[in-house]
Chains A and B, each alone.
Chain A
């Protein structure tokens, strides 16, 4: 080049020679134009003496490109029209002449703004999880029609029976009579509005639970571990507490809500990903511990009303789980730790003042409810 870029730009009358390193695309076609630039109050872009474009200085913006070139666009030109400068000297002059070059430049986002807004969004999502969702679950659960709850429960029931490969124990009439007598006494003492459906499932797993819609299931594995009717009565009363508090429905609303909101945060509604999984388990476990605590309290008040001790239920749970503090991280557990529950149930324990819930014969019959009648 015999003319320096500076001369090329300042000399506003004569166009520069054609070996210019500046390339222009007009945004209408992909045709490459080797252009000369003339800078006055506007940037004149011309090819072999023909003016292709004339950009006002104030409208020129930087477009995204590799570091080795300066790529420019203009707000008043077609949006994809580009001027590419590969000459460092020329680029420097244009940069110094165009004060608004970096205004809202392509992709130069304010990192501070993103961080700030993200933190605000996170705080608001966290607040909804901690305060809004429990409130919404409490308020919405009573609005869910019982018929819908029952449908959900029926669906869960089918899965549970397949998973545990278990059948309900219906052969032993004496055992069933004892079971329904116990359930009736508990429901009356608990002041349940509707009769509670209940059944015993033949499986070695020691457990009991309440399904949505209020069906209580007792597993025969738990019966096998139990020493007296009060132990089983406490557990059944605990499940009645879940039915009464509509914990299944509340839990569904709550965990559905947390899944969605945490997904909103980390970007994954399906809930895979360790981080999503971990935070969701932590939050839901804390909610679930709270519900279990309340179901225990409910069980205690029912047993008090019947004049029966509360400690046996704690003993039964302890017999099954053993001491948990050594092996369970308490914030991850969805039930309160067994030793804490045992302590609570022991603290509330009162000597028996009411009649036994079942006679010895009835208790024996209940224990063998899943065995064929002899």
Chain B
């Protein structure tokens, strides 16, 4: 066995190990998301529930552990119903929010800002319940995963930890993730096998603190320069700051890609189900390329969109004096329709690129980096647990929160 345990707290080298294998065909996934994005457009977005289901089905069914891939048993229809329920719940909340805002603002202007906290709590609740839905729709060897615990208890914890992470400029983020993951995994089960999470915040911090410093470096630099110049005008200091910020922007994909790789590896390596343990050896640089490819595709797509706009203006309005063309483009229905079509086109293209690289490829790399130890502990697990509803998914979609 070449893999070295990641955690000091891990039990001594387990007896057996199997690699997780991802066998999904990239072209097949590409066609899936391309057709799905087109259908999303045709259905004014309603197809998103079925597309999300298809994507999960593809990823689940091609990720095999010891020769058996999990089955995703969720349905697009369930997500649609969850979404409609979420809307029904959120509508009165928005109205109540509106009324409370007015009362608070009357007492003191902008007094209502803390009410955003409430929506943050709701978002975290949604994240918890969304994981619960996905888990209960995951079946491996004829036994389903399931989850109990309270979404609200989780939301309160998440809000407290987020506050701490914000105050510490992100330094507390690893401990936040560890604490929240412990709560979530403690309530995850595979049949009668209970889940747990052994990843430590300190370990995550140890691996990622340099990236954290890089991420907040413009802030630190600005503070330092401010102290050095004591608030006096200093063109040199300003120049240094601008240059550093530009470099920082170009370094962001590396910083973020590195952070995500560390996060994935740390997360996977902390998961336990009873005696079964997981270990990932995902290298820190495993995701850089994917982020750059997405950026590259976005640039290409935007360039193509620009060229398309020029051509469509040329076709519908004609070339010539710039001001003249601009004035006539205003009234041209043909040019306007062509612009709208082009805009929808780039949305499709960007979604396809994003889903192919950041969903499928990230998943494939993270899955393939994983080894499972002592899987025999799950060889005779009794089925247990009930299905959960898709309300959390609906809320998460409505509130625009992401997380798992």
CB-based contact B142/A25 at 8 Å: yes
A205 on the interface (CB 8 Å rule)? no
CB-based contact B139/A265 at 8 Å: no
CB distance from B313 to the nearest CB of A (A): 14
A98-142 Cβ-contact flags toward B at 8 Å (1 or 0) = 000000001101010011011101100000000000000000000
Q: Measured between alpha carbons, how far is A330 from B333 in the docked complex, in Å?
A: 13
Question: Which of B47-55, B124-132, B212-220 sits within the interface?
Answer: B47-55
CB-based contact B383/A151 at 8 Å: no
Known: A30-B379, A109-B76. A152 touches B50 (CB 8 A): no
A158 on the interface (CB 8 Å rule)? yes
CB-based contact B61/A155 at 8 Å: no
Q: Measured between alpha carbons, how far is A158 from B140 in the docked complex, in Å?
A: 58
CB distance from A249 to the nearest CB of B (A): 12
CB-based contact B143/A29 at 8 Å: yes
Which of A155, A162, A330 meets B102, CB within 8 Å?
Answer: A155
Q: Measured between alpha carbons, how far is A245 from B379 in the docked complex, in Å?
A: 72
Question: Which of A7-15, A269-277, A297-305, A353-361 sits within the interface?
Answer: A269-277
B91 on the interface (CB 8 Å rule)? yes
Q: Measured between alpha carbons, how far is A31 from B102 in the docked complex, in Å?
A: 60
A201 on the interface (CB 8 Å rule)? no
CB distance from A55 to the nearest CB of B (A): 14
Which of B44, B139, B378 meets A122, CB within 8 Å?
Answer: B44
Question: Which of B234-242, B285-293, B302-310, B392-400 sits within the interface?
Answer: B392-400
Known: A114-B47, A155-B105, A264-B87. A32 touches B61 (CB 8 A): no
B73 on the interface (CB 8 Å rule)? yes
Task: Give residues of chain A (230-245) contacting chain B, Cβ–Cβ below 8 Å.
Answer: none
Residues in A whose Cβ lies below 8 Å from that of B101: 155
CB-based contact A270/B400 at 8 Å: yes
Residues in B whose Cβ lies below 8 Å from that of A152: 102
Residues in A whose Cβ lies below 8 Å from that of B347: 274-275
CB-based contact A159/B105 at 8 Å: yes
CB-based contact A29/B381 at 8 Å: yes
B181 on the interface (CB 8 Å rule)? no
Known: A114-B50, A269-B90. A64 touches B72 (CB 8 A): yes
Residues in B whose Cβ lies below 8 Å from that of A32: 68, 141, 379
Of chain B, the residue at the smallest CB distance from A252 is B98
Known: A155-B106, A158-B109. A115 touches B43 (CB 8 A): yes
CB-based contact A118/B47 at 8 Å: yes
CB distance from B38 to the nearest CB of A (A): 11
B117 on the interface (CB 8 Å rule)? no
CB-based contact B142/A82 at 8 Å: yes
Of chain A, the residue at the smallest CB distance from B112 is A155
Q: Measured between alpha carbons, how far is A154 from B103 in the docked complex, in Å?
A: 9
CB-based contact B23/A28 at 8 Å: no
Residues in A whose Cβ lies below 8 Å from that of B62: 66
B55-93 Cβ-contact flags toward A at 8 Å (1 or 0) = 001000110100011011101110000010001001100
B144 on the interface (CB 8 Å rule)? yes
Which of B54, B61, B190 meets A65, CB within 8 Å?
Answer: B61
A145-176 Cβ-contact flags toward B at 8 Å (1 or 0) = 00000011011101101100000000000000
Residues in A whose Cβ lies below 8 Å from that of B61: 64-66
CB-based contact A268/B46 at 8 Å: no
B45 on the interface (CB 8 Å rule)? yes
CB-based contact B139/A118 at 8 Å: no
CB distance from B291 to the nearest CB of A (A): 21
Dominant secondary structure at the A interface = mixed
Q: Measured between alpha carbons, how far is A253 from B191 in the docked complex, in Å?
A: 49
Residues in A whose Cβ lies below 8 Å from that of B105: 154-156, 158-159
Known: A155-B101, A275-B347. A269 touches B94 (CB 8 A): yes
Q: Measured between alpha carbons, how far is A68 from B73 in the docked complex, in Å?
A: 18
A26 on the interface (CB 8 Å rule)? yes
Which of B94, B106, B378, B383 meets A28, CB within 8 Å?
Answer: B383
Which of A29, A81, A107 meets B382, CB within 8 Å?
Answer: A29
Residues in A whose Cβ lies below 8 Å from that of B23: 66, 68
CB-based contact B102/A326 at 8 Å: no
B330 on the interface (CB 8 Å rule)? yes
B319 on the interface (CB 8 Å rule)? no
CB-based contact B73/A118 at 8 Å: no
CB-based contact B75/A107 at 8 Å: yes
Which of B57, B141, B378, B398 meets A25, CB within 8 Å?
Answer: B141
CB-based contact A162/B71 at 8 Å: no
Q: Measured between alpha carbons, how far is A110 from B134 in the docked complex, in Å?
A: 22
Residues in A whose Cβ lies below 8 Å from that of B104: 155
CB-based contact B398/A159 at 8 Å: no
CB-based contact A31/B71 at 8 Å: no
Of chain A, the residue at the smallest CB distance from B83 is A267
Which of B53, B108, B330 meets A158, CB within 8 Å?
Answer: B108
Q: Measured between alpha carbons, how far is A158 from B110 in the docked complex, in Å?
A: 8
B327 on the interface (CB 8 Å rule)? yes
CB-based contact B44/A154 at 8 Å: no
Task: Give residues of chain A (75-99) contacting chain B, Cβ–Cβ below 8 Å.
Answer: 78, 80-82, 84
Q: Measured between alpha carbons, how far is A154 from B106 in the docked complex, in Å?
A: 6
CB-based contact A151/B109 at 8 Å: no
A1 on the interface (CB 8 Å rule)? no
A8-52 Cβ-contact flags toward B at 8 Å (1 or 0) = 000000000000000101111111100000000000000000000
A-B contact pairs, 9 of them (CB 8 A): A29-B380, A31-B379, A32-B68, A32-B379, A82-B141, A114-B46, A117-B46, A154-B105, A162-B109
A-B pairs, 3 with minimum CB distance: A25-B142, A118-B43, A155-B105
B-to-A contact residues, CB < 8 Å = 23, 39, 42-48, 50, 53-54, 57, 61-62, 64, 68-69, 71-73, 75-77, 83, 87, 90-91, 94, 98, 101-106, 108-110, 139-144, 190-191, 327, 330, 347, 378-383, 397-400
A-to-B contact residues, CB < 8 Å = 23, 25-32, 63-66, 68, 71, 78, 80-82, 84, 106-107, 109, 111, 114-115, 117-119, 121-122, 151-152, 154-156, 158-159, 161-162, 256, 260, 263-270, 272-275, 325-326, 329-330
Known: A31-B379, A256-B98. 4 other contacts (CB 8 A): A30-B378, A30-B381, A118-B46, A326-B327
